[in-house]
Amino acid sequence: MRIGFVGLGAMGVPMAVNLVNAGHDVTAYDLRSAATGPVIDAGGHAATSIAEAAQEAELFWLMVVSGEQAQAVLFDAGAVDELPKGAIVIAGCTQAPAMAADTARRLKERGLKMLDAPVSGGTAGARAAALTIMCSGDAAAQAKAQPAFEAVGKRIFDVGPDAGMGSTAKMINQLLCGVHIAAAAEAMHVAERAGVSLQTMHEIISVSAGNSWMWGDRGPRMMQDEPPVTSAVDIFVKDLGIVLDQGKAMRQGLPLSAAAMQMFLAASGLGHGAADDSQVIRAYRALNGAKKP
């Protein structure tokens, strides 16, 4: 298939490369034109403008940072004027469900279909073509996009016909991720303040009912002073922000998400917004007194 691909960040580059490797005709665009290098090396094409990436695209895949950026690409930079009739827009970014629904509505006015298809699995999953894709939208459009999804993902879920459902599923995953990271930090902080060995504690929980994916992944980095950044504190300020904005729009109290958000906000306010999100534990140390082991 001819695929226009916009947004060549840490996720977008390996995804575009995997699409090329699966035999698709990929024309990629990024504001930083150097970012297209790996796609060209794999055998794909670089566009010099968004409009050029959109021309003759059967799928137009957006891996930009936000729903706002997706709308800018589509409506301000003129992609919608270039996309051929029947083209399917794939919104792969993490965004508020209401924003995804709004974009789908505006595209529909132009006769274009959208799949609300955020992904999970991080850069490792993107490189391994092992992403989880949570897709909502028209069934025929989902069927058409399926071979492209399979080129980048291992688990592809149909979350329903309505734009916003895919983003809701992703948002719910982020809700759990954010709460579990903060809960891990709360638990680690109780342990360090009580003088329990964090190594032993990590081992115990890893084989107990209190275990979580985040405990396994972030726990070891909570024991480090300056861990490598795999995902920043401010990413969860953004993602839990989406959860709570959506909760506000739906008039829905979400006590745990709200409490977790305060800890990420505090960590960011303490100057650790760009630090690894495991460092939300610093907000606990600030709150209750630092007794580091």
Contact positions vs a copy of itself (CB under 8 A): 97, 120-122, 132, 134, 155, 157-160, 164-165, 168-169, 171-177, 179-180, 182-184, 186-187, 189-191, 193-197, 200-201, 203-205, 207-215, 217, 243, 246-247, 250-260, 262-263, 287-288
Q: 162 and 139 in contact (C-beta within 8 Å)?
A: no
Task: Indicate which residue of 108, 170, 238, 292 is catalytic.
Answer: 170
Residue 170 among the catalytic residues: yes
* Closer by beta carbon to a copy of itself, 83 or else 159: 159
Instruction: Give how far Cα 201 sits from Cα of 122, 198, 204, Å.
Output: 27, 5, 5
The whole-angstrom separation of Cα 19 and Cα 48 is 19
In three-state secondary structure terms, 116 is: strand
Shortest distance (Å) from residue 181 CB to a copy of itself: 10
> Residue 13 has which token pair?
């580059």
> Residue 146 has which token pair?
């399926």
* Closer by beta carbon to a copy of itself, 43 or else 210: 210
Shortest distance (Å) from residue 51 CB to a copy of itself: 35
* Closer by beta carbon to a copy of itself, 33 or else 288: 288
* Closer by beta carbon to a copy of itself, 14 or else 153: 153
Shortest distance (Å) from residue 292 CB to a copy of itself: 15
* Closer by beta carbon to a copy of itself, 30 or else 186: 186
Shortest distance (Å) from residue 200 CB to a copy of itself: 6
Instruction: Give how far Cα 174 sits from Cα of 16, 141, 167, 184, 261, Å.
Output: 24, 26, 10, 15, 12
Shortest distance (Å) from residue 271 CB to a copy of itself: 20
The one-letter code for the residue type at 113 is K
Contacts of 213-217 with CB under 8 Å at 24 or more apart are 213/180, 214/177, 214/180, 214/181, 214/184, 215/180, 215/184, 215/187
* Residue carrying structure tokens 């982020």: 174
**Active-site residues: which are they?**
170
